[in-house]
Amino acid sequence: MRLISVFVITLNLFCGNAWGDVSKPSGVFVNFVQFEGNTLLDHETLARRVPVNDGAMLSPEFMRLYAEEIRGYYSSQGFHHVIVYPDYRVRDGIFTIKIYENQESPKNPQKAFREVQRMMARDNVDLDPDGVKTAVRQVMLAYQENESILADKILQQRENILRYNSLQLKEQRERVLETMALREKIQDQMNMLTVRMRGNAIRRLEQMNIIQSYLDSHKEEELNLPYLDTRQEAKFLP
């Protein structure tokens, strides 16, 4: 009975893979991988871990594996508390991997300690416990300084964005005022044309009335002419 169940399951899997999914796409086409929230590692460093070259078809399973690869790379660099997960909504061929580094705060002494351990292993240097403590304090001071510099940069960027937005609003306001002024000018010209056309129409009506009155007066003169007998007139003809 067990062998029959295994055979049925295997047959179902084979049929599903061989025939059932032939018409279904194997994934979504991706030609670029971007990262959101990364500050400890730059984009180029992370992109080398998940290359797509000229494009690749990625299924949700592969997207999850890519995110796990990034999380594993963070862990190999000493950042064990980073959260990484994929955004399965691929837009215009762009696959996004979201990263949360909140637990890897510069104020975390464990991070500074791991950084000292990496530097010791890289430079092949052994330090006594007091030297390690001193190095950790120096690294934390460097983190604080970098954090202050980063905060200043962010503040400067915000000021630049606000300044840019204010300039944009000013330009839009000026464009709106120019459009309104142009619209008023066009309306004034249309009003002048309307008045002029009305004046021309009135003058035409006056002229037509004059002509009509002239024609009416001449018609009355023709009607008042005396009746002439052609037979009487013929006597005076030569």
Answer yes or no: do 92 and 111 share one domain: no
> What is the predicted pLDDT for the residue at 10?
46
Return all residues near 184 (Cβ < 8 A) that are at least 6 apart: none
What is the Cα–Cα distance from 37 to 32, expressed in whole angstroms?
A: 17
The mean per-residue pLDDT over the stretch 121-142 comes to 82
Q: Which has more pLDDT, 24 or 90?
A: 90
> What is the predicted pLDDT for the residue at 217?
74
> What is the predicted pLDDT for the residue at 71?
93
Of 7-11, 77-81, 151-155, the one with minimum mean pLDDT is: 7-11
- Please say which residue of 169, 186, 203 terminates a domain: 186
Residue-wise DSSP of 164-220: HHHHHHHHHHHHHHHHHHHHHHHHHHHHHHHHHHHHHHHHHHHHHHHHHHHHHHHHH
Counting the structural domains of the chain, the total is 2
Range of the domain at 42: 24-104
Answer yes or no: do 129 and 62 share one domain: no
Answer yes or no: do 51 and 66 share one domain: yes
Inside any domain, residue 49: yes
The mean per-residue pLDDT over the stretch 100-110 comes to 69
3-class state of residue 105 by DSSP: coil
Q: Flag whether pLDDT at 144 surpasses 70.
A: yes
Q: Which two tokens stand for residue 146?
A: 């970098």
Q: If we measure between CA atoms, which residue out of 36, 11, 32 comes closest to residue 91?
A: 32
- 49: domain CATH number is 3.10.20.310
Measured at the CA of 204, the angle between CA 202 and CA 207, to 5 degrees, comes to 110
What is the Cα–Cα distance from 92 to 168, expressed in whole angstroms?
A: 28
CB 98 within 8 A of CB 38: no
Inside any domain, residue 158: yes
Q: pLDDT (tens digit, 9 = 90+) per residue, 162-213?
A: 888 888 888 888 888 888 888 888 998 888 888 888 888 888 888 888 888 8
Answer yes or no: do 78 and 37 share one domain: yes
Average pLDDT, the chain: 78
What is the Cα–Cα distance from 115 to 123, expressed in whole angstroms?
A: 12
Answer yes or no: do 160 and 172 share one domain: yes
- Please say which residue of 71, 89, 104 terminates a domain: 104
Residue 84 pairs in a beta bridge with 99
Q: What are phi and psi of 57, to 5 degrees?
A: -90, 120
- Please say which residue of 63, 79, 104 terminates a domain: 104
Answer yes or no: do 98 and 156 share one domain: no
